[in-house]
Amino acid sequence: MMKNLSLTILAVVLMVVVVGCPRPPTKEMAEARAALDSAKDAGAPTLAQEEFRSAEQMLAEATAYMDEKKYDDARNSALTSKKLSEIARDKALKRRAPGKGQAGEGVTPEGETGAGVIPGQAVVTGKGSLGEGVTIKELEPVYFAFDDYSISEEAKDILKVNAGWLEKNENVKVQIEGHCDERGSAEYNIALGERRAKSARNYMIQLGIDPSKLSTISYGKERPVDPGHNEDAWVKNRRDEFVVK
């Protein structure tokens, strides 16, 4: 009887551990730390200052999320930090040893950075003619749940396509606009919209897109695509849009 009971408790505890709580991303954290160290060794703090600082910041964020047991957020930040460190390291190395086929601005670093990117379906013809503030048909928006900024599986698929397009159109920079539905305060929604834009940006960095090609802005709930006051409208308004800058 006693044994049965403890077995049941053990089973329940195991279930909770396995199913209920996301596992802490210790491996991703360690890799992010290692990547940052190797960027530092390569001289990134001075040679690729901006990227290195972003990587540092992102790792601090990941560490804070670990403390708060927000493991999904921690994993995302760790993965982004690792990628930023790799970019910073590559840039630093290139700048240390110039002459080796002068890399142009905006070229994504070599290595495994392109892994996981599904090529975009279409390359825009005459990419030089892209004006500022243009929404490109191939760059589809991604959508979010209410009061949420996490990237869904569907959103990931769209972001992979968008990343593929950006790799093909390497001179194009985009601004990711975060938007929200009309519910809640203007200020909270501006902050939420920024998180949404940064979520997409971080994921695209993880996919290997050069961070300098991706800026963000939040319009909160101020620029709805659908002015309606119902769930139909709200679903469409909780989005990131990609606009050529």
Partner 1 sequence: MKYLRPTIFILLSVAMSSVLWAKVYITIDSPGRSRFPIAIPELKNTGTIPDVRGFSKDLLKVIENDLDLCGIFQIIDPKAFLEKDGGLSRDEVNFQDWSTIGAEGLVKGGFVLKEKEIALDLRIFDVIQGFQISAKSYRGALNNLREMGHKVANEIVKAFTGEKGFFGTRLAFISTVTGNKEIYIMDIDGENMRRVTFDNSIALSPVWSPDGTKLLYTSYKMKGPHLFVHDLITGNEKAISQRPGLNIGAAWSPDGRRIACTLSFEGSSEIYILDESGNNPKQLTRTYGINVSPSWSPDGSRIAFVSDRGGNPQIYIMDANGKGVQRVTFSGKYNVSPAWSPRGDRIAYSGMRGEYFDIFSIAIDGSDMIQLTHGEGNNEYPSWSPEGRYIAFSSTRDGHPELYLMSSNGIYVRRLTNSHSGALSPTWSPR
Asked if 76 touches partner 1 (CB under 8 A), the answer is no
Q: Which of 61, 83, 85, 57 lies closest to 72 in space, CA to CA?
A: 61
Neighbouring residues of 58: CB distance < 8 A, sequence distance ≥ 6? 32, 77, 78, 80, 81, 84, 202
Asked if 173 touches partner 1 (CB under 8 A), the answer is no
Asked if 191 touches partner 1 (CB under 8 A), the answer is yes
Q: Which of 126, 138, 25 lies closest to 82 in space, CA to CA?
A: 25
Give whichever of 173 and 183 is closer to partner 1, judged by the CB atom. Answer: 183
Tell me the two tokens of residue 110: 């070599």
3-class state of residue 34 by DSSP:
helix
Q: Which of 159, 179, 165 lies closest to 236 in space, CA to CA?
A: 179
Question: Of the ranges 16-24, 39-47, 211-219, 235-243, which one interacts with partner 1 (CB under 8 A)?
Answer: 211-219
Min dist. Cβ of residue 177 to partner 1 (A):
12
Give the C-alpha separation, 29 to 199, whole Å. Answer: 18
Among 64, 118, 123, 225, binds partner 1 (CB under 8 A): 64
Question: Of the ranges 1-9, 64-72, 100-108, 234-242, which one interacts with partner 1 (CB under 8 A)?
Answer: 64-72
Min dist. Cβ of residue 149 to partner 1 (A):
9
Q: Which of 95, 226, 237, 80 lies closest to 159 in space, CA to CA?
A: 80
Among 177, 194, 210, 241, binds partner 1 (CB under 8 A): 194
Min dist. Cβ of residue 67 to partner 1 (A):
10
Return phi, psi of residue 115, to 5°.
-60, 135
Min dist. Cβ of residue 190 to partner 1 (A):
5
Using CB under 8 A as the criterion, which residues of the chain lie in contact with partner 1 when the complex forms? 57-58, 60-61, 64-65, 68, 73, 147, 183-188, 190-192, 194-195, 217-219, 222
